[in-house]
């Protein structure tokens, strides 16, 4: 008894069976997608750093005004 044959069709004959992604085998990004993703991550990190610096600068100026 062969387990690879299901109702007369072998699993290797299914169209795209070796190409279809599964949850354990994610799709690879296309050529330009990864670059766009890296730019998005860099822009997000820059925005977070700018926000943190602005918040710290605001707090520093507030402390200077309170100490006068």
CB 27 within 8 A of CB 21: yes
Global pTM? 0.48
**What pLDDT is attached to residue 60?**
92
Pairing mode, strands 9-10 and 5-6: antiparallel
Ordered by start, the domain boundaries in the chain are: 5-67
Q: Token pair of 28, please?
A: 């690879």
17-51 pLDDT, tens per residue?
566 666 676 677 777 777 888 899 999 999 999 99
3-state helix, strand, coil in the chain (%, to 5): 55, 10, 35
Buried b (16+ CB within 10 A) or exposed e, 35-56: eeeeeeeeeeeeeeeeeeeeee
């Amino acid at each position: 008894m062969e387990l690879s044959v299901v109702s007369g069709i072998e699993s290797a004959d299914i169209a795209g069976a070796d190409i279809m992604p599964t949850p354990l085998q994610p799709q690879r990004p296309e050529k330009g997608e990864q670059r766009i993703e890296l730019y998005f991550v860099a822009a997000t990190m820059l925005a977070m750093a700018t926000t943190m610096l602005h918040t710290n600068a605001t707090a520093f100026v507030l402390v200077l005004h309170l100490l006068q």
